[in-house]
A and B are shown apart, each in its own frame.
Chain A
């Protein structure tokens, strides 16, 4: 499968890269034109293009500028330095992981409760589904500030937002998974006079694994977004969201783009790790996708 898509994917990425470089020229040249008008000099086409690709604060940074900045702040700085993207990435990541862990554990527990108690199912499930249509992320600033005022700051408030965002996808997905065995399977267990608990451990839980992993991927991406957004309201100085904010305040566009790419790479890695765990787990259970 990889061989089939390798060439098309590379082609598409190549085209995107080419379009990006091309777009830099019109986007950045306005500033160059201004400078030229002031000094009265002129530039050749090649010089204009070259200038468009190497500005200090470009409207659209060129790919190599972003790559250089990434290399600079990830590899060339010490991890403990305040300029290191690894440092900032870790700040955001720690909140993400903590929130993800809390959110998914609570989500799984609630899902188990929903599947086994009709009262819980009928009262909570509609709200869980409705909550997916509500932009919960709007609550983020409030949570940060409220907890700040009672002395809780730093990682915990961000983790709470992350937990909140990962909670509901896991509840809905896990409930769907626990309910996925068909009537025939459930009847078979009844002929063995199996208890609810036995049915849970032997049938429902294994059957829910594919659904669980699908919602874990959504949940981890949502957790990351929650942690980043959590860094915005109080003007935090540490974390990827803080770097985004600082970059936008001071007009440091290359910094913004590199922070964004770092966040993107982090998200991709997290989803990929869960995908890997999924593959191993499902293979051991004989449920190869």
Chain B
């Protein structure tokens, strides 16, 4: 299992100094994520889930502890283009077409023009956006823009996909649809996925492992290994197993809220 370890965090600490005193965004966080896992991070605001994701991505520097990605430091992993990142907002450039937007990382990383065209076609097919290459972002709906953003993160074949509440701004039906597509994508590509969410059903539906976090200080309250099968139609959300896991997540969240209302 050790050689299969993709992300490994040990006693991670991240403390901000603010005018009102130190803020412990992360305290003593330890976690191991293996290859091909789909890990959700769930918790209330301020629990550190986004901060932890950013630490993996090397966008934040921890003040204590260790974290390694693919056996390297996050900084080196970033230079080696080990992961794709999907933000809450699609963040597409309005002055580029969808195809142009997906090419953005490919241009930066130095892929040839022919390679770029091939990859764009491939990932657009993966997220079911074929035919929209020449359109501009404002001509697409929110859900389609977010799909384009995911395609952009897949274009350069990183093993790891880090997603920070990517479907938060979309309505329920679109969200369900995108959840299904994401699972299908995961099955096809076998990537390791880190996924931050606010929604309990989404976390339980998508993941093989659910990490429940709570704030002040930001810490892990519970790590749940999901017993659900890999093949998951949407109506699995009504099954007994699903509801049990969801209950466990809810209990974990409640425990973390003890010091609040």
Asked if A and B form a direct contact in the complex, defined as CB atoms under 8 angstroms apart, the reply is no
